[in-house]
């Protein structure tokens, strides 16, 4: 009787532990998952930065419109797509957007200076030539529309 008890306790002691091989396999799997997940999470523009940039461009467009009405002169918001920056006529400040951001401009042909620089024009009556600025980061994007008749600026998801 004694020998059968000793054998059964030896078998249960062996099966209750984790072997080094099992531990190495689990660690390797965790390493692979971490290697795939880290690039997905970091390095890009966050949703908050993207939304903040869209609001910043919309504020610049609204400022350009108000300047046109107040000074009774045409005013433009210039966009540099390569540098990801914008500025308003007669305002020396340049507003820079995050580096990982993709920026597109749809506007009148006459307001495109070159391949990477263009503008949206506002008239003294508050109207505009109209246009759209698209800010994107990966799959997420915001479109800032300018109505040609009223000059109204709207952010679309």
Range of 17's domain? 2-41
pLDDT tens series, the chain, 157 aa: 555 555 555 555 556 788 888 889 999 999 888 887 766 665 566 888 889 999 999 999 999 999 999 999 999 999 999 999 999 998 999 999 988 889 999 998 989 989 899 999 999 999 999 999 999 988 899 999 999 999 999 999 8
Instruction: Tokens 């042909």: give the residue.
Output: 109
Query: Can you say whether the dihedral through the CA atoms of 137, 141, 142, 145 is positive or negative?
Result: positive
Q: Which one, of 119, 123, 120, 143, lies nearest residue 67 by Cα? A: 123
Number of domains in the chain: 2
Specify the 3-state DSSP secondary structure of 4: helix
Q: Do residues 81 and 12 both lie within one domain?
A: no
Task: Verify that 73 and 118 share a domain, yes or no.
Answer: yes
51 and 19, same structural domain? Answer: no
Whether residues 61 and 136 fall in one domain: yes
Q: Give the up-direction half-sphere exposure of residue 143: CA atoms within 13 A in the CB hemisphere.
A: 9
């Amino acid at each position: 009787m004694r020998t059968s008890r000793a054998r059964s306790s030896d078998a249960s002691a062996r099966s209750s532990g984790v072997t080094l091989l099992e531990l190495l396999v689990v660690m390797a799997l965790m390493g692979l998952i971490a290697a795939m997940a880290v690039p997905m999470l970091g390095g890009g523009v966050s949703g908050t930065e993207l939304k903040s940039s869209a609001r910043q461009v919309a504020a610049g467009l609204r400022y350009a419109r108000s300047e046109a009405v107040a000074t009774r002169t045409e005013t433009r918001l210039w966009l540099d797509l390569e540098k990801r920056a914008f500025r308003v006529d007669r305002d020396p400040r340049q507003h820079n957007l995050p580096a990982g951001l993709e920026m597109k401009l749809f506007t009148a042909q006459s307001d495109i200076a070159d391949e990477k620089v263009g503008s949206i024009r506002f008239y003294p009556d508050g109207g505009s030539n109209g246009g759209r600025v698209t800010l994107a980061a990966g799959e997420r994007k915001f479109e800032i529309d300018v109505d040609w008749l009223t000059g109204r600026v709207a952010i679309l998801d």
